[in-house]
Structure 1
């Protein structure tokens, strides 16, 4: 694929992150975004002419807002291979909006692809699965989904999840400040705590596919100690339910975006 020219339509946060990752790995990549000021493109090579952009690219990554996806694809002049990031826009709509003969795969990456630590789910025409893996597996944990509607769950969990984790880290740090630490100390401790805990669980899972977070949690929790006192407060304030509800609501919102 290194000889194939890849086009990114929409070079905002996600499209820009994908562009830079491809560029860093020496893929041939070109961007198109009429709403992005070229002065703020930050190294993204933007094609200003829509027709020329189409002629120069063989595989397209659609990273526009969901409401603009169908309109953008309907303006394509020839069949293309398309990977769509647009939340909630199903493969039926993507195919019907594209020129006849186009192949489509829906993908849902998340922002940590910026540091090659992403998570991604995908579903669509299997002919493009190899392309998805080649582009994204070096920078993401990739999950091939058995049913398309599971992409909404991926959107609510890993697509939106970084925002939940960042809010959790912020809350940990604020708790540290309330307990006497400086904000810098508290934030650094919070970040490292989340990183270390996640890596520890990942290592356990690599060694045992039946590993469960509860087992490691219990290793931190001693009878009558500090951890159980803190966990009691989380339970009292419905922390587990709030997180589950956030994932579910974001998943529902993904479905809603596809019906507009």
Structure 2
């Protein structure tokens, strides 16, 4: 497989590194492009891949191309590709652009273009990402398998209807930021109660990691696992009461909903 990457930011790099580390592609078969020469050449140097100045040339020599550009830049990229439509012959495009619908992408490209829309997240940088995808009107079952293979190299992947992609953005696309904020708050509380900062952060981080692993590995509902550590009249139920009294659950749901709505707004621009 020959893989292309348009947009050399953190997400694009994470997905590319995942594919390289899993052996799905070889560095010599990967091409990258971006608006700035320095960015693409820096990534090419770090990973041993090929830097290309032209997006159309990149597509012409690739079987699969990730489009990992910012929402305001993507229309320019799509226009460029449409004006040289032959570069897309046989090429699968996978978009990671938040809020950008398949209809918008496909309308900007030749009628035969094969497109997949996906939403990964930044833990893909360490192979622990969570991604979802949905197929465009011309994408095939083979394209789905290719997408699963590439995204799965950087974590877990599921297929969802496009109507749920904005919700995916709210839950997992933006979700790492919520968790980082929670870890920071737990560590701050530890410091408030006398723990040295490094120890408080280590304890908070490992607690979140361990709890998440329990959910993933046991398959039990989080409420069941919570009840397993919540003794009658004990410290944990007192803490849970404080979380509820301060709107923890409502704030979390509001955060996911806000990100979901923002993703919908981005898609309407």
1:10 Cα shift?
A: 0.3
Q: Aligned match of 1:213 in 213, 222, 245?
A: 222
Aligned to 1:208: none
Secondary structure in 2 matching 1:149: helix
Equivalences for residues 174-213 of structure 1 within 5 A = 174-205=188-219, 211-213=220-222
TM-score (norm 2): 0.88
Aligned to 2:32: 31
Aligned to 1:108: 119
Q: Which moved more, 1:48-57 or 1:163-172?
A: 48-57
Count of residues in Structure 1 that have an aligned counterpart in Structure 2: 251
Q: Aligned match of 2:152 in 108, 112, 137?
A: 137
Q: Is the 8 A contact 2:106 2:113 kept in 1?
A: yes
Distance in 2, Cα, partners of 1:249 & 1:49: 37
Q: Any stretches of 5+ residues in structure 1 without a counterpart? A: 206-210
Distance in 2, Cα, partners of 1:110 & 1:221: 32
1:184 Cα shift?
A: 0.5
Q: Is the 8 A contact 2:56 2:80 kept in 1?
A: no
- The reply to whether residue 98 of structure 1 matches residue 85 of structure 2 is no
Deviations 1:187-245 (A, max 9, x none): 1101110111111111221xxxxx31111111111122111111111111100000001
1:98 Cα shift?
A: 1.5
Q: Aligned match of 2:171 in 138, 157, 167?
A: 157
Distance in 2, Cα, partners of 1:57 & 1:132: 14
Q: Any stretches of 5+ residues in structure 2 without a counterpart? A: none
- The reply to whether residue 228 of structure 1 matches residue 253 of structure 2 is no
Q: CA RMSD in A?
A: 1.5
Distance in 2, Cα, partners of 1:149 & 1:247: 16
Secondary structure in 1 matching 2:132: strand
Q: Is the 8 A contact 1:74 1:99 kept in 2?
A: no
